[in-house]
Amino acid sequence: MTVATKPSPQTKTRRLEQLAILVDQALERLLPDATAVPPIVHEAMRYCVLGRGKRFRPLLCLGAAEAVGAQARQALPVACALELVHTYSLVHDDLPAMDNADERRGQATCHRKFGEGNAILVGDALLTLAFEVLGRNGTPNGLEIVRIISHACGTTGLIGGQVLDLQAASHTLASAAKALTDIAQRKTAALIAASVVTGALAGGANANQVRAAQRYGQDLGLAFQLIDDMHDQDGLAAAMGVDAARDEAHKLISRAVKALEPFGRRADMLRQMADWLESTSERAPTR
Q: Is residue 5 part of a domain?
A: no
Q: Is residue 207 part of a domain?
A: yes
Among 7-11, 48-52, 148-152, the minimum mean pLDDT is found in 7-11
Q: Is residue 97 part of a domain?
A: yes
Residue-wise pLDDT tens digits, 204-255: 999 999 999 999 999 999 999 999 999 888 888 888 888 999 999 999 999 9
More confident position, 277 or 166: 277
Q: Is residue 111 part of a domain?
A: yes
pLDDT of residue 235: 85
First CA to last CA distance, the chain: 54
Give the 3-state DSSP-derived string for 183-243, with helices as H, strands as E and coil as C: HHHHHHHHHHHHHHHHHHHHCCCCHHHHHHHHHHHHHHHHHHHHHHHHHHCCHHHHHHCHH
In this predicted structure, the answer to whether residue 2 has a pLDDT above a threshold of 70 is no
In this predicted structure, the answer to whether residue 274 has a pLDDT above a threshold of 60 is yes
The strand pairing partners of 108, in sequence order, are 103
Residue-wise pLDDT tens digits, 103-112: 988 899 999 9
- Dist CA 110 CA 117 (whole Å): 10
pLDDT of residue 4: 45
Percent of the chain whose predicted confidence (pLDDT) is above 90 = 75
In this predicted structure, the answer to whether residue 186 has a pLDDT above a threshold of 90 is yes
**Pick from 129, 104, 131, 2: nearest CA to 48:** 104
What mean pLDDT is predicted for residues 185-208? Answer: 96
Q: Is residue 153 part of a domain?
A: yes
pTM, rounded to two decimals: 0.92
Q: Is residue 4 part of a domain?
A: no
Number of domains in the chain: 1
Q: Is residue 1 part of a domain?
A: no
Q: Is residue 3 part of a domain?
A: no
What confidence category does residue 146 fall into, taking pLDDT thresholds of 50, 70 and 90?
very high
- Dist CA 80 CA 130 (whole Å): 8
CATH number (domain holding residue 231): 1.10.600.10
Compute the C-alpha angle 93/18/201, nearest 5°.
65
What confidence category does residue 14 fall into, taking pLDDT thresholds of 50, 70 and 90?
confident
Per the prediction, the chain carries an average pLDDT of 91
Q: Which domain holds residue 241?
A: 10-282
pLDDT of residue 286: 61
